[in-house]
Amino acid sequence: MRRPSPSPPPARGPAAVAAATVVILPVIFPGLFSPLGHAFPSLFSEWNAPKPMHPLLLNEASRWTIPDEQKRDLWSPLPYQGWKPCFKSSSSHALPLESSGYIQVFLDGGLNQQRMGICDAVAVAKILNATLVIPHLEVNPVWKDSSSFEDIFDVDHFINALKDEVSIVKVLPKEFSWSTREYYGTGIRATRIKTAPVHASANWYLENVGPILQSYGIAAIAPFSHRLAFDDLPVDIQRLRCNANFQALVFLPHIISLGESLVKRLRSPIKGHSNEFIHQVVEESTGHAGKYAVLHLRFDKDMAAHSACDFGGGRAEKLALAKYRQVIWQGRVLNSQLTDEELRNTGRCPLTPDEIGVLLVALGFDKKTRLYLASHKDKRSLASEDELANVEGKASVLAALDYYISMHSDIFISASPGNMHNALLAHRTYENLKTIRPNMALLGRIFVNKSMDWSRFQQAVQAGHKGRYGQIRLRKPKQSIYTYPAPDCMCQG
């Protein structure tokens, strides 16, 4: 094979989400209902935190008594819906006798975006009859975590789970050791593909990447996020993506072990409503396991800035978030071209802490609800410093921990659409677990009406969320297989 040019060593990478905490709603309500700067002091330091945007609803929600029947309906598990996981491929698509070369991908974004990219990389390697090198995870400019694939996922399990369909290696052989992240960052290289279109077809890869593999024996694709189509692919390629996502990607044992401990503590009875570390929890407790919900309250500065919505912070807020958009995305944010009213009417604004608070009450969560906050910075309510030592400061590893705890919850709800919401919606649908999908367009329109009283708000929320608790929705054309796993990843019967 021809070597296109010389070679620096590899760089390490990747990125992503946050941490964790558990609270009881009497504790969370003051935090949710207080000014943003109090609840999240480090997020919007450039501007004075606004007052809650919905004081009337907040006041009435704090006094609302939820009917027992509503609580029973909320916490009851989903009935069987006639669909089950279905991921095995046919024997006709087994591993080819000879590989066409090596495929490298470099994945940006947070952990859940990278997870989708990993599955796409497996599919592209299969399409090209190539050998996949364990994907390189880039360092996220927001979270600045350099955790690698091997720091998060069980590599041996990943390779073994897919071995009958795709050849995967941990590192390149010596003759290709020059093909590194640094090498591709220092000039134009014949083996790098920079022009893969978003949602590219299988034919695009065969026509544009296939010849490079034939000439050089290796091809590196970057950027690679969202670079494979969801439609017009063979059934076996779709099933392979499902297998990679739901079967092959397993977190490292130490992440699972810590996750299991935190899930036990979430389900254990607690005396009092303390937000401190639960020293009294006995791991071997044989008491009746309690229920808990996970709330993904993602209201960090990058989320707020990218949404381009108005959160009541006035001119200082607008200037601060506009500056942030310029620094991180060079101002290229489509939402910034729309008015706040247009954004809210189309459900593009993440819910603020006070908005998610009143939504939770309207849905039937009361002050005794055990609620875990995914992607939150205060994670010491469930674990000791010693237990957190291996994950502290590692955003991607903490995101993996959040993912594990979210998958084992009785209910999952997210305050905004995004990669974590989509990834968990898909995985929990696959496992038939209750997942609330907030009707963002409806809520956007409701929250614009500052005079709406609690009774009308509660009725509108209940009516607008029927059928949004994890019921199977079949994927439509152009929709993501990583959000809607049926029918590609699931079978009826």
The answer, yes or no, to whether residue 28 has pLDDT greater than 90, is no
Positive or negative torsion for Cα 446, 447, 448, 449: positive
Neighbours of 259 (CB within 10 A): 21
pLDDT over 70, % of the chain: 83
Pick 390 or 6 by higher pLDDT.
Answer: 390
pLDDT in tens, 68-106: 999 999 999 999 999 999 966 655 567 878 999 999 999
Predicted model pTM: 0.86
The answer, yes or no, to whether residue 314 has pLDDT greater than 50, is yes
> If you average pLDDT over residues 450-470, what whole number do you get?
95
pLDDT in tens, 365-379: 998 999 999 977 656
pLDDT for 271 equals 57
How far is it, in rounded angstroms, from Cα 493 to Cα 214?
A: 44
pLDDT over 90, % of the chain: 65
Least confident window among 191-200, 276-285, 327-336, 484-493: 276-285
DSSP 88: P
pLDDT for 88 equals 67
How far is it, in rounded angstroms, from Cα 83 to Cα 430?
A: 9
pLDDT in tens, 193-218: 999 999 999 999 999 999 999 999 99
The answer, yes or no, to whether residue 10 has pLDDT greater than 80, is no
pLDDT for 298 equals 77
pLDDT for 49 equals 54
Neighbours of 466 (CB within 10 A): 9
pLDDT for 215 equals 98
Paired strand residues for 132: 103, 168
The answer, yes or no, to whether residue 361 has pLDDT greater than 70, is yes
Positive or negative torsion for Cα 391, 277, 261, 374: negative
Q: How many residues does the chain have?
A: 493
- Enumerate the domain spans of the chain: 20-82+253-492, 91-234
> If you average pLDDT over residues 159-186, what whole number do you get?
96
pLDDT for 31 equals 43
> If you average pLDDT over residues 384-405, what whole number do you get?
92
pLDDT for 425 equals 97
The answer, yes or no, to whether residue 60 has pLDDT greater than 50, is yes
Asked if residues 347 and 308 have their Cβ atoms less than 8 Å apart, the reply is no
How does DSSP assign 423-492, residue by residue? HHHHHHHHTT--EE---HHHHHHHHH-TT--HHHHHHHHHHHTTT-SS---PPPTT--TTT--TTTTEEE
On the question of a cis peptide bond just before residue 41, with omega within 30 degrees of 0, the verdict is: no
> If you average pLDDT over residues 256-265, what whole number do you get?
95
pLDDT in tens, 385-395: 899 998 988 99
How far is it, in rounded angstroms, from Cα 245 to Cα 119?
A: 6
pLDDT for 65 equals 93
Between the CA atoms of 476, 461, 378 and 261, what dihedral angle is there, to the nearest 10 degrees? -70
> If you average pLDDT over residues 354-366, what whole number do you get?
94
How does DSSP assign 251-272, residue by residue? B-HHHHHHHHHHHHHHHS--SS
- Could you give phi then psi for residue 340, rounded to 5 degrees? -60, -40
pLDDT for 93 equals 62
> If you average pLDDT over residues 305-318, what whole number do you get?
88
pLDDT for 130 equals 98
Tokens of residue 401, six digits: 């921990």
pLDDT band, very low/low/confident/very high, at 7 (cuts 50, 70, 90): very low
